[in-house]
Structure formats: C-alpha cells, structure tokens
Structure 1
Amino acid sequence: MKIATYNVNGVNGRLPVLLRWLKESKPDVVCLQELKAPQEKFPLAAINDAGYQAIWHGQKSWNGVAILSAGAELKEVRRELPGDQEDIQSRYIEAIVNDMVIGCLYMPNGNPYPGPKFDYKLGWFKRFSAHAKNLLDRGIPAILTGDFNVMPTEKDVYKPERWINDALFREEVREAFKLLVDQGWTDAIRKLYPEDTIYTFWDYFRNAYGRDAGLRIDHFLLSFSIEKRLTGAGVNREVRGWEKTSDHAPVWIEIK
C-alpha cells in the first residue's frame, strides 16, 4: 500500500500537476495540504475522474487539507484538532482507512519570530502532540503525515546557520518535534535513510531547486504497529521541477 503526502500550494492552480502526479505515481492514499480553496471550490469531479474519492476541509485563500483514496473506503473521524473550539483554521483532517487512522496536517508556519504567529504555532503543536499521544495510548494503528513546517535537525536544512531564528527551525519547535516523536512515533524517512540528505521543499527564489538548497519539512510519523510494516519511503523530487508546480515535492511510504 502506497501512501503519500503533498503540499500542493493551491489545489486548483496546481491541478494539472496534481493529476499528472497521481497518474504517474499511483498512490493508494494521498494527504494534501494548503488547498487554498473554500469548501465548495474543491475540484472533486477531476479528483473522481482520476480514480479517487476524497474528504476535505477547505478554507478561502489559505490552509485547507484533504485525504484521497483510490480504493479503500474513507471514514472521516474529525476535521479539526481537539482542544480549541475558537480555532477556525483548517489544518487537520483525520480518517480511518483499512483499519488504521490517517491524520493529515498542515502545521502553522509561525513566522515571524517572535510574535503571535509563533505563539500560535507552539500552541497548535501542543494540542497536536496531545492528540497524537491519545492515539498511541489507545493502541490505534496510526499515520500522522503532512507539512509539519519543522526541520527536525541540521541534517534537514541547507545551511542551517541561516535558519536559527526562523520559526521552522527555532529550538522550541525542534524540541516540540522531538518530544512528539519520543512518544513512540517513527520518522519513516529517517528510519530508512538515517544519514542521507533529503529535502521535500525548495523555495521559488534564488534557484533553490537547481542548487538543491532545500528543507525537509514534510514528514511521516508512524505508530509502532505501522512501523513494523514499513517497506519503502521516498520523495518524488522531480515533481518540483515540473512547470507551474508547488514548492513542495510529494513524499511517500509503502507498507505491507
């Protein structure tokens, strides 16, 4: 079973890229982030024509998350993160697929640091970690995936010294990610490629993709029962080089 995550950076504007990638890569389940489309503007007909059913939580101009499935039934569990009824940003959606929970997330960016956006990111991270721990405590086979907006270590960022005070690399954020993983989650990419330089995002500016000046901010976290079934993982980095593409590349895992 192939599961992928992809920050599309605008699902309608990047729809030809998304459909091409779906046709070529053929993932069974896909988590999308940054739809940048209100609920009624999600391109369901095109997604259905490509062979996928979908659940989604849209938001005008920003945010937005979705889960697609090529065959297995999608049973929606929630479309918000627990812990703050006042938070209206569409950043999390969760479904049961083949008897496992798949949580699709779009972590707040948090910049500029310091400031209210950074504080919101830390608060969102705290709520997300509490929900993740609840999943583990209940013994639920689970995958948490999406754009975490975190480079966990210096290995995950080109020229880390330039990012010390960026909200994606601040020590508070990296510590929060470490505490999350230490609950009992497995970082799938680092499980299989512990020493490799692997990026999932390249800025549009300064020829970042051509220079391979990237970041690894899109992650798969696996519960123990899923980690035992992990057989492969990777990044479709060539998609980043396509015309009118997202600044992220799709990331995928394969499980038995």
Structure 2
Amino acid sequence: MKIASWNVNSLNVRMPHLEQWLSSASPDVVGLQETKLADDRFPDTALAAMGYRSVFCGQKTYNGVAILSRTPATDVQFGIPGFEDEQKRVIAATVGDTRIVNLYVVNGQSVGSDKYAYKLRWLEAVHGWLEAERQLHPRLVVLGDFNIAPDDRDVHDPVVWNDEHILTSAAERAALRRLLMLGLHDGFRLHNEEAGEFSWWDYRQAAFRRNMGLRIDLTLVSDALRPLCRAAGIDRETRTWERPSDHAPAWVELD
C-alpha cells in the first residue's frame, strides 16, 4: 500500500501535474493540501475517471485538504474536534483498515506573532485529538505539510534555520516531538538518515536548482505500522515540471 502526501499549491493550476504523477507513481492513497478550491469546484469526476475516489474540504483561494483513494474512504472527519477554526486544514478518513489523517499545519508567519501563537494552539489541539485517534485506530498514518522541519538534517542551512526561525523554532519542533511521542514514526527517517533531502523549495533565489530547501512534508506511521513500512521517499522530479508546486510528494510504502 503506497500512501503519499502532496501540497499542490492550487489544484486548479496543478491538476495536470497531479494527473501525470498519479499515472506514474500509482499511489493507493494521497493526502492533498492547499487545494485552494471551494467544494463545488473540486475535480471529483476527473479523479474518479482515473480510479480515485475523493473526500475533500476546501475553500476559495486558501487552504483546502483532500484524501484520494482507490477504494472508497469511510468515517470521514473534517476539522479538529472541539477546536473552532474556519480554515480548512484537516481531514481524516479510514481506507481499508488504515486511518489516514491529513494535516495542513499552520505556517505561523514569524516567531512571536499572533499567527505563531495560533499555530502552537492548533498543534496542541491536534495532539489531543491524535491521542484519542491512536487508541481507536492502531493502524494510523498522519501525513501532510507540517510546516516544521524536524531537525537540522532537514534544512539546507541550520545557521539560518535556527531555533528562533519560523518552521524550525524550538517550540515548533517541541510540538512535533510531542506528536511523535504518541507512538508515531517519521516514515522517511525509517529508511533515510542522510541530510539534504528536501520536499519544499522557495520559488525565489533559484532555490530548487541550488537545493536550498526544507523537508516539511511528512508521513508519520504508528507503532503498529512501523515494522510494515518497507520504503519511503520524496518525488522531487515534480518540482522540475513547468509551473510546479513548491512542494514535492512525500510517500511511504506499507506491506
């Protein structure tokens, strides 16, 4: 079972890329972030023609999440239970016997800002929810654009991306570690220890060509799935395509 995460940064723009990648990569489940589409504009019919059923939660211009799967998803959840939020950033569903939680984590703007404080509150709410989800669903995959680089191997320049910088600050990384302590494991790191493998590159400063990136798109697997995780990677080729998303798909394969 191949499960992937991709921040497409506007599905309206990137739909041809998604179709191309689905045809070549053949994932069984995909979590999308930043679809930036109201629900009545989601390309459900086109994706069904490719063999994927969709559940989605979107809004115009900003945010938006979806889960695509070869078999229909059940028990769909929109948003974080008990956390009031107008932003469409969370969707969860069960595919077969595996629970998929798809997160588009708040960026946070800058350390100390109101948006940063909102990010930390949001992550705390996610922690409480996932603590309950793991009890209900031993086979759990939490994926998405986390807007947090886990450690210094996941940034192109640790001097710049330090514990006082957004996406790498001490509080953000501590919040991510708390999620992992629930019994979640970074699928990529189960198979790759090397530094310099990224999933996001800024559009500016020729960042992709210079490999000035961050690994902020994660696929986390539960304790029960850890021994079944046979491979993981990042499909950076998509970043070379014309008018690409600034993110590349991250994926895991499970037995």
Paired residue type of 1:89: Q
Aligned to 1:113: 111
Instruction: Specify the SS of the correspondent of 1:77.
Output: strand
How far apart, CA to CA, are the structure 2 residues paired with 1:53 and 1:136?
25
1:161 corresponds to: 159
Provide the aligned C-alpha RMSD in A. Answer: 1.2
Aligned twin of 1:58 = 58
What is the CA–CA distance in structure 1 between the aligned matches of 2:229 and 2:42, rounded to whole Å?
A: 31
Following TM superposition, by how much is the alpha carbon of 1:114 offset from its aligned partner in structure 2, in angstroms? 1.5
Structure 1 equivalent of residue 133 of structure 2: 135
2:221 is the counterpart of 1:222: yes
CA distance in 2 between partners of 1:138 and 1:46 (Å): 33
Give runs of aligned pairs for residues 42-191 of structure 1, distance below 5 A. 42-70=42-70, 72-84=71-83, 86-138=84-136, 140-164=138-162, 165-191=164-190
Matched, 1:32 2:32: yes
Judge which range, 39-48 or 5-14, deviates more: 39-48
Contact 1:111-1:166 within 8 A present in 2 as well: no
1:248 alignment counterpart: 247
User: Aligned residues: percent identity?
Assistant: 39
User: Partner residue of 1:233?
Assistant: 232
Question: Residues 58 and 65 of structure 2 are in contact (CA less than 8 Å); yes or no, is this contact kept in structure 1?
Answer: yes
- Tell me the amino acid that sits aligned with residue 10 of structure 2: G
Aligned-partner residue type, residue 228 of structure 1: P
Find the residue that maps to 1:149 and give its secondary structure.
Answer: coil
Q: For 1:53 and 1:183, how far apart are their aligned partners in 2?
A: 30
Q: CA deviation at 1:135?
A: 2.0
On the 8 A contact 2:64/2:89 being kept in 1, the answer is yes
Where structure 2 has 5 or more consecutive residues not aligned to the other structure, the ranges are none
Q: Following TM superposition, by how much is the alpha carbon of 1:112 offset from its aligned partner in structure 2, in angstroms?
A: 2.4
Q: How many residues were matched structurally?
A: 254
C-alpha offsets along residues 52-108 of structure 1, whole Å, 9 cap, x if unaligned?
1100001111000000012x2211431111232x31111110101111110011000
Q: 1:176 and 1:23 mapped to 2: Cα distance? A: 36
For normalisation by structure 2, the TM-score amounts to: 0.96
Q: TM-score, normalising length from structure 1?
A: 0.96
Q: 1:160 aligns to what SS in structure 2?
A: coil
**Does the 8 Å CA contact 2:154/2:195 hold for their aligned counterparts?**
no
